[in-house]
Amino acid sequence: MPTSRLEAFSDGVFAIAITLLVLEIRVPGQGESLSSALLHRWPSYFAYAVSFLTIGIMWVNHHQLFKFVKATDRKLLFVNLGLLLCVAFVPFPTSVVAEFIRNAGQARAAAVLYGVTFTVTAVFWQLLWYWAIKRPEILSEHADRTALSAIDRGFWVGLPVYAAGTAVALGSPIASVAIFGAIAVFYVFERPLARER
């Protein structure tokens, strides 16, 4: 299978998952004061923005990675499907965080779920990256070695950072979600691929 098909299908899943995030923001009921209910929804808006940016950056990275890939095989398809399974799952922990982050007794479980989702996603990124760049039958000969190294460093940072953010959730759930937001903003401004234009 050529990589273009895999990329088009992956694009579709990224675009749909990112757009389904809005469904987690519940419309207030008729009994409440609407303006205060809308302001009270801030965790929903925040979780929406964090998940939106995180998926958006993953989409950018996905294209970046596949620029270096000349062919796909069984392992790559399998790992990519695993990655998409995680991406398409993101709306669920996003809803859980939005619903429970202000609930003192439950916020920890919500933030851990959110962090575990991103950490498992980072594991699939590592596998995808590793299986793509370590095999000459997959890696394009035209891949720019300098760019590869830069991305390599970027990808390896992801897993420990998300794992650390998940560990923080055990102590302070809100700090943990703020860290995931900061990671997203950091990647927007600093991701390696930004260097090439």
Positions touching its own copies (CB under 8 A) are: 1, 5, 8-9, 11-25, 27-28, 30, 33-35, 38, 48-49, 52-53, 56, 59-60, 63-64, 71-74, 77-78, 81, 84-85, 88-92, 95-96, 99-100, 103, 105-106, 108-110, 113, 137, 188-189, 193-194, 197
10 HSE (CA, 13 A, CB side): 25
Q: In sequence order, which residues have a C-beta less than 8 Å from that of residue 193 and are 6 or more positions away?
A: 60, 61, 64, 147, 151
Category of 135 on φ-ψ map: left (φ > 0), alpha (ψ -120 to 50) or beta: beta
Could you tell me how many helices (H) and strands (E) the chain has, helices first?
8, 0
Closest approach of its own copies to the CB of residue 171, in Å:
16
Taking the least distance from each CB to its own copies, the nearer of 16 and 175 is 16
Closest approach of its own copies to the CB of residue 38, in Å:
6
Taking the least distance from each CB to its own copies, the nearer of 26 and 160 is 26
Taking the least distance from each CB to its own copies, the nearer of 145 and 189 is 189
Taking the least distance from each CB to its own copies, the nearer of 35 and 141 is 35
- 90, 117 in Cβ contact below 8 A? yes
Taking the least distance from each CB to its own copies, the nearer of 148 and 193 is 193
* Secondary structure (3-state) at 61: helix
Closest approach of its own copies to the CB of residue 48, in Å:
7
Please state, in angstroms and rounded to a whole number, the distance separating the CA atoms of residues 187 and 193: 10
Helices (H), 21-90: 34-40, 42-66, 74-89
Closest approach of its own copies to the CB of residue 75, in Å:
9
